Amino acid sequence: MQDTFAQFTLVILKMSKLVQKIKAQEMNKFDLKAVHVMCLYLLRVHPEGFSISELCRQTLDDKAAMSRAVAQLRERGFVTSKPSGHSFTVRLTEEGERFADYIASRVGCAVAAGSVEMADEERSRFFSVLEEICSKLEQYYEQLLLEGDVEL
């Protein structure tokens, strides 16, 4: 079981780090950071926009980092933010939509490179299994929180 744990943990960690490096490399030429990739990508998929809090929930980034990212994107003319109740709704501008389209094409290249020899069914099954593992780990973590500290 420990070999499975080590293999799973190291492969997931390596994949996560590679994705971050790819995002950083892609954004470097625009003087932007990896955090901007998911922000732009999500806003492209959701043209109605998101609050900064919702962007944080979607990306798992902290509020300070997301606020800085949105401010930088606003300075570049990629997003606007309009008051909406107690928060602001962040949306892409026309220029932001064009840039987000470029980001989506680069994301497509990365996904294709990562799954070049996988059939669509294999890729679909992989993500299904990964989501199932994630869900089960979330349940396990919630149970640990309920149990509290265990003394040895």
51-75 pLDDT, tens digit each: 999 999 999 999 999 999 999 999 9
Considering the domain architecture, whether residues 91 and 106 belong to the same structural domain is answered as: yes
pLDDT at 42: 96
Domain match, 91 and 124 both: no
pLDDT digits (tens, 9 = 90+) for 96-133: 999 999 999 999 999 889 988 899 899 899 999 999 99
Half-sphere exposure of 12 (CA within 13 A, CB side): 12
Other C-beta atoms lying within 10 Å of the C-beta of residue 146: 7
- Residues 80, 96 within the same domain: yes
pLDDT of residue 151: 66
The candidate with the shortest Cα–Cα distance to 90, out of 59, 47, 60, 58, is 47
Would you state the pLDDT for residue 62?
A: 93
User: Is the domain of 33 the same as that of 104?
Assistant: yes
Query: What is the model's pLDDT at position 148?
Result: 81
Residue 64 CA to residue 129 CA, distance in Å, equals 32
Terminal-to-terminal C-alpha distance of the chain: 22
Whether residues 77 and 21 share a domain: the answer is yes
Residues 66 and 139 in one domain: no
Structural domain containing residue 128 = 119-152
Residues 84 and 63 in one domain: yes
* Domain co-membership, 38 together with 91: yes
- Cα separation, 20 vs 26, in Å, equals 10
Estimate to the nearest angstrom the gap between the alpha carbon of 101 and the chain centroid: 16
Tokens of 125: 């099954």
The total of structural domains in the chain comes to 2
* 67 and 105 co-located in one domain: yes
Q: How far apart are CA 45 and CA 7, in angstroms?
A: 33
Residues 80 and 134 in one domain: no
Task: Please give the pLDDT value at position 84.
Answer: 78
The share of the chain scoring above pLDDT 90, in percent, equals: 78
Long-range contact set of residues 32-36: C-beta below 8 Å, sequence gap at least 24: 32/72, 32/73, 32/76, 33/69, 35/59, 35/61, 35/65, 35/66, 35/69, 36/69, 36/72, 36/73
| pLDDT for res 152 | 59
Spatial distance between the Cα atoms of 20 and 110, rounded to a whole number of angstroms: 12
Find the CATH number of the domain harbouring 79: 1.10.10.10
Both 40 and 58 in one domain: the answer is yes
- In this structure, are 38 and 89 located in the same domain? yes
Residue 36 has pLDDT above 90, yes or no: yes
Against a cut of 0.75, is the pTM above it?
Answer: yes
